[in-house]
Structure 1
Amino acid sequence: MTAIVLHDLGSRQESRAWFATAARAAAESGDDQLHAWVLGGEAMVPLNYGVPKAAAGLAERARHAGGHRPTAAATLAAAVAARAYALNHQPQQARAALADAAALMERLPEGERSDTWLTYGEQKHHVHLSHAYTTLGDTRRARESQQRALELSAPTSTMTRTLLNIDAAACSHHDGDTEQACHRTVAALAALPDGYRTGLVRRRALDLYEAIPAQHHREDAIQLDILDLPFLFSEQE
C-alpha cells in the first residue's frame, strides 16, 4: 500500500524500493497470487513514468507467477502487460494481452471482483483498458471503457476520474482535434485541488503534451491553454 501511494505521488525510486521489499516477502511466503499482484503493481511504476520496456518485463513476471487461473492478480498482470506493450509500440503483443485479460475477466470469481486493494473489479479493468486502447489509438473502444469506468467511479475518486478525462483528451488528439484535447486536459487539471496536480496526474498530462507535434506547440489556442498550467513545467521530476 505504501508503494502504491508513493507511485501516485510520483516518488518513483521510493515506490520501487517498497515494491521490492513487498515482492521479496510475497515470494518467501509462498503465495504465488500475492507475489503476482505485487509484481503487477510494481510494473505500473515504469509503465506510468516512461520506461514501458521495463514495465512489460515486470508484467510478464507477474503473469508467470499468477499462472492461468482466473484470479485478480493474473487479470491485473495481463492488463498491465497490455498497457506496457501498447506504450512500447508493440500492438500485436498488446492486443494479445488485452484478449487474455478479457478472457480472465469473464471467468473471474465474484469474490475476486469486489472493490478492495487486492481484488480486480470492473472499474479497475476499464481504467486499464481505457489507457491501453487510448495508447493503441483505438479511440472507439477507449471511449467505451472511459464511459464505463466513470460510471463505476465514485465522485470522490479524484485522481482516477482525472486520468480518465486525460485519456479522453488523448483520444481527441488521436482523432485529429488537438485543440479540443488541450482544452479538455486544461479543464480536467484546473478543476483539481493543488495537491493533486503532481505525480501521476502531472506525468500523464505531460505525456499528452509531448505527444503533440512540436510545430503545434506554438499555435495560439495551445499556447493559451498551457499558460494556464505553469505547474506542468515548473516542478522538477
Structure 2
Amino acid sequence: MLAREAMAGLNYGSPKAAAGLAEQARCVAGTSPTAATTLAAARAYTLSHQPDQARNALAVADRLMEQLSGEQRADTWFGHCEQKHHVHPSHALTDLGDTGRARESQDRALELSAPTSSMTRTLLTIDGAACAHHDGDIEQAYRRAAAALDVLPAGYRTGLIHARATDLYQSIPAQHHREPAVRALHNALA
C-alpha cells in the first residue's frame, strides 16, 4: 500500500514525499523480495534530484525483480510485472540522462504494453522524446511529443501526460520557440 501511495505522489508532483513513502515501503518489506520493494524509489529519487540514490534504487529493483515469485510478478494493482518494471526505469533513466538504457526500457515496455494502453504508451513516447531532446535532436523530440499528444482525445491530455509533456516543453531554449515542431507541441498542449 505504501508503494502504491508513493506512486500517487510521483504522478502528482510530490517526489520528496514519494521518496519517503517508497523508503517506508522498502523498510516494511524487509529483506525479502516483494513487489512493494521494487516500486517507486528510483523515480522518486530522480525527481527529487538525488541521482546517486536513484541509480542505487534502479540496481536494487533490477536485482529484486529477478527474485519475485510468479504471484508478485502478476499484472495486478499490487504486482510488479515486467512491463511495469520497464515503465518506471524509462522515466527515471530519462531524467538521469542515461538515454541508452532509457530507450531499452521504453522499447521493452512498449513491446509488453497493450495497444489500448494509451496513457502508458504516450508516457513512454514522451520519455523517448525527452531522450531525443537530451541527445540534441530537438526537432525530433518535439515532433514526437506533439504527435503522441495529437492522437489522444482531448480528455486524455490532462494530468500526468500533460505534466510530463509540459516539463519537456519548458525545457526548450527560447531561441527554438518559433520552430514548427516546437509550435506543434505548444498547440498540442493548449
Aligned residue among 96, 119, 122 for 2:82:
122
Name the CA shift for 1:227/1:81 in 2 (closer, same or farther; >3 Å): closer
Q: Note the residue ranges of structure 2 that are not aligned, 5 or more in a row.
A: none
Name the CA shift for 1:148/1:109 in 2 (closer, same or farther; >3 Å): same
Query: Are positions 1:211 and 2:174 aligned together?
Result: no
Q: List aligned pairs for 1:23-102, cutoff 5 A.
A: 38-76=1-39, 80-102=40-62
Question: Separation in 1 of the partners of 2:182 and 2:107?
Answer: 29
Q: CA deviation at 1:54?
A: 1.7
Question: 1:228 corresponds to which residue?
Answer: 187
TM-score, L = length of structure 1: 0.76
Contact 1:127 1:145 in 2 (8 A): yes
Q: CA deviation at 1:223?
A: 4.4
Where 2:71 maps in the other structure, the secondary structure is helix
Q: Note the residue ranges of structure 1 that are not aligned, 5 or more in a row.
A: 1-37
Question: Which AA in structure 1 matches 2:18?
Answer: A
TM-score, L = length of structure 2: 0.93
Q: CA deviation at 1:133?
A: 0.5
User: RMSD between aligned alpha carbons?
Assistant: 1.5
Q: Deviations over 1:155-202 (max 9, x none)?
A: 111110010000000000110112211100000000012221111111
Question: Separation in 2 of the partners of 1:164 and 1:196?
Answer: 15
Q: Where is the helix percentage greater, Structure 1 or Structure 2?
A: 1
Query: Are positions 1:105 and 2:68 aligned together?
Result: no
Question: Separation in 2 of the partners of 1:56 and 1:227?
Answer: 31
Q: Number of residues paired by the alignment?
A: 190
Contact 1:130 1:146 in 2 (8 A): yes
Contact 1:216 1:222 in 2 (8 A): no
Question: 1:139 corresponds to which residue?
Answer: 99
Q: CA deviation at 1:51?
A: 2.6
Structure with max Cα Rg:
1
Name the CA shift for 1:109/1:177 in 2 (closer, same or farther; >3 Å): same
Q: CA deviation at 1:70?
A: 1.0
Question: 1:151 corresponds to which residue?
Answer: 111
Where 1:113 maps in the other structure, the secondary structure is coil
Q: Deviations over 1:206-233 (max 9, x none)?
A: 11112223x245232244313532xx34
Name the CA shift for 1:56/1:223 in 2 (closer, same or farther; >3 Å): same
Name the CA shift for 1:227/1:63 in 2 (closer, same or farther; >3 Å): closer
Question: Separation in 2 of the partners of 1:198 and 1:61?
Answer: 30
Name the CA shift for 1:142/1:55 in 2 (closer, same or farther; >3 Å): same
Contact 1:48 1:204 in 2 (8 A): no
Q: CA deviation at 1:146?
A: 0.4
Contact 1:85 1:94 in 2 (8 A): yes
Identity of aligned residues (%): 64
Question: Which AA in structure 2 matches 1:181?
Answer: A
